Amino acid sequence: MCTYLTEKLPVEGSGKGAAGWFGLTEATVYVDHPQHIDFLNPGEGPAARVALELTADSARALAAAIESALSSAPPGLA
C-alpha cells in the first residue's frame, strides 16, 4: 500500500550526478514508493537529483550514524 507520506526540507550541500557536482537545495524523504530519499536542486532541472532507496533499517542506521559522527566532531568542525 502506498501512503505517500512525505517530508521535505531545505538543505545545503553538494551531490554528484552524471554531469558532475551540483549544489543541493532540497531533500525529500518518502516513507514508501516511489523513492525513499531524494536530494535535489529543482532550479537546475531533473538531472540535478541524487536518489537513494534504503530499507527502513538502513535509513535508521544512516540517521544514527550521521548523528553520531556530528556529535563526535571537534567543536567548530561540524
The whole-number pLDDT of residue 33 equals 67
Q: Tell me: the pLDDT tens digits for 43-56?
A: 999 999 999 999 88
- pLDDT score of 3: 80
In sequence order, which residues have a C-beta less than 8 Å from that of residue 51 and are 6 or more positions away?
35, 37, 38, 39
Q: Which tens digit of pLDDT belongs to each residue from 6-45? A: 999 999 999 999 889 999 999 999 987 666 899 999 999 9
Q: What distance in Å separates the CA atoms of residue 78 and residue 67, rounded to the nearest whole number?
A: 11
User: What is the identity of the amino acid at 1?
Assistant: M
Q: For 53, list phi and psi in degrees, rounded to 5.
A: -120, 110
Neighbours of 24 (CB within 10 A): 20
Residue 61, C-alpha cell as written in the block:
542506521
> Is the pTM value of this prediction over 0.75?
yes
pLDDT score at 35: 67
